[in-house]
Structure formats: structure tokens, C-alpha cells
Amino acid sequence: MKKRRKANTAFRHTGAFWLFVLPSLGLFALFFLLPLVLSIWFSFTDFDGWKKMNFIGLQNYAKILTDSSFYLSLGRTFIYTIVNLPFKVAIPLLLAALVTSKKLKGNTAVRTMIYIPVLFSSLVAGITINWMFSQEYGLVNFLLEKMGMTPLEWSLNPTLATVVISIASNWVSAGYYMLLYVGGINNISKELYEAASIDGSGKAHTFFHITVPLLLPTTFIVLLLSTVNLLKEYALIQGITLGGPGTSTTYIVQYIFSQGFDQYKYGYASAAGVLVSIVFIIIAAIQFKMTKGGGEV
């Protein structure tokens, strides 16, 4: 009987499916796919943003592949991503352990507060972080001086500028990943913890031998999301260093934007964008494949 009803409604279901998907599909096709196709087309032209648009074949791609500043930005992006990944996992995980603890009074309030920076636009985050790390009147330098250290030139030293960006990036994302971990921790059965404590397992031991391994699926999601977000880091940098000092915080998306919007080489920028997207897809796919064994995304 179930089978017959299925057959009867099969067509109606498919029809309803497309009807329900239509609004999002329409928006997706018009404002995502079409521009993507257009930018692939641009990548084969010398489009300058106004009038000039001639088909020039693979010239843009050839030029990019011999452009050292392209490789430098890409390399910088990879280093930035790899260095920051451990923090993107560890800090939210520790915070989640903190806010799910029954020992801590008012942990819901703490959770709420930790999430607040996630709500900020990159601009507000930028103003805040720039202020904290400002050379003369910033809080960080003030504290360093109080502790008898020399204040640091956060915005002039390439390494320190990268540190500031990294802190900012973790600051605005920690709350979100923390929530994912909170969800994961709440899904772990309480009996496991009871059994562990009966067996005489200490808090730290329980955390590293029960909580962390069981959170592996969540960790995979956090890794995947933060890798992609780190590779694409742009708005935050616009709010803080604008890619400087020099080009020391110019990551790949920044590079593409400046080629297009500042130097009016839209064809060239589109080609770089296409190449970078392909690289990102490959990285995401590898990560997805590697982690699928443990995680259900």
C-alpha cells in the first residue's frame, strides 16, 4: 500500500520539489552562477571596467602564472591559514568546555558574551582591534609598558601586523565555533562521563580521552569551515591593515580585489579569481575526503 501511494504521488512530489526550490534556485542562478560564468568569460578578455573588452585567450592566465606577486600572496595566504588553524580549533574547544561546565555559575551569560564579537561587521571589529593595538594609546601597549616592557610597533612590523590580524580573526570566529562544540558536547552521553568517573578518571584525563575524541566530527566541521574562511580572509584585513605594512598582510583575495578595483585590470583579476577558486576547491575537496571517515557533514 505504501508503495502505491509513493507511485501515485511521485510526480506530484517532484513537481512540488521544484516549486519549493525555485525561489532559492532562482536567486542562486541569477546572482551566483550567472556572475560566475560572466567572470569566467571576463578572464579571457582584457576588460578594464569601462569600454575595452577584447578576447585575448589565455594571456591573462599566462601572465598570472609568471607573476611573482601572485605566488607571494598565495604563499602568504597558505602560511597564514596553516598557522591559525590550530587556534581556530583549540580556543573554541576550550571555551566550549568552560561554558558547558555545571561548576561555572552563569555559564549561559558567558556563552552569550563570547558570541558577541561574532555579530560584528569586519569594520567594527577593525575599529576595535585597531584601537586595542594602537601604537600610542592602545590598551595592549599600555599593559606592556605597565609590565615594564617596551611598547611594540604593531602596525609597522610585518610579523606583528600578521599577529594582530590573526588575533582579530580568532576573536570574531571563536564564539561561532564554540557553539558548534557546545552542540557536540551536549550530544555526548552522560553515562560515558559517569563510567569514566567511576573508573577514577580525572577531569583532564576525561577531557582528553573522552570529550576530545568524541568531538572529532565537530572538529572536522570546524577545520573545514575555518580553512575556507582563512583562505578567503578579506573584509577583516580591509578593516585593520589594508594589506600593509607593505604587502605583508596582502592575502590572495586582497590581491584579486586590488588588481580589479584599484588597477582596473578586471580581466586579469577575474582570471586570478578563477585560478584561486580552483585551488580552494581542490583544498576543500581533499579535506572533505580525508575527514569524511569520521565526520558526517
Stretch that binds other proteins, among 24-32, 66-74, 76-84, 242-250 (CB under 8 A): 24-32
Grid-cell match 595566504, residue found:
77
Binding to other proteins (CB under 8 A): which residues in 45-64? Answer: 49
Neighbours of 271 (CB within 10 A): 27
Question: Cβ of residue 256: shortest distance to other proteins, in angstroms?
Answer: 5
8 binds other proteins (CB under 8 A): no
Binding to other proteins (CB under 8 A): which residues in 161-220? Answer: 171, 174-176, 179-180, 182-187, 190, 193-194, 197, 202-204, 206-207, 211, 217-218
The Cα 12–Cα 8 span in angstroms is 8
Considering only 65, 139, 242, 286, the residue that binds other proteins (CB under 8 A) is 139
Residue from 232, 228, 278, 225 nearest 256 by CA? 232
Q: Where are the alpha helices (DSSP H) in the chain?
A: 2-28, 34-42, 59-65, 68-99, 107-115, 122-132, 139-146, 158-187, 190-198, 203-206, 212-214, 216-231, 235-240, 252-257, 266-292
Binding to other proteins (CB under 8 A): which residues in 224-243? Answer: 224, 228, 232, 234-235, 238
Stretch that binds other proteins, among 67-75, 80-88, 126-134, 154-162 (CB under 8 A): 126-134
Stretch that binds other proteins, among 68-76, 78-86, 155-163, 270-278 (CB under 8 A): 270-278
Distances (CA, A) of 84 to 42, 140, 144: 33, 21, 24
Binding to other proteins (CB under 8 A): which residues in 90-119? Answer: 91, 94-95, 97-98, 100-104, 110-117, 119
Question: Cβ of residue 88: shortest distance to other proteins, in angstroms?
Answer: 14
Say which DSSP state 152 is in.
P
Residues 6+ apart with CB under 8 A from 288: 224, 297
Which residue lies nearer to other proteins by CB, 248 or 280?
280
Q: With contact defined as beta carbons under 8 Å apart, do 125 and 239 qualify?
A: yes
251 binds other proteins (CB under 8 A): no
Question: 72 is written with which cell numbers?
Answer: 607571494
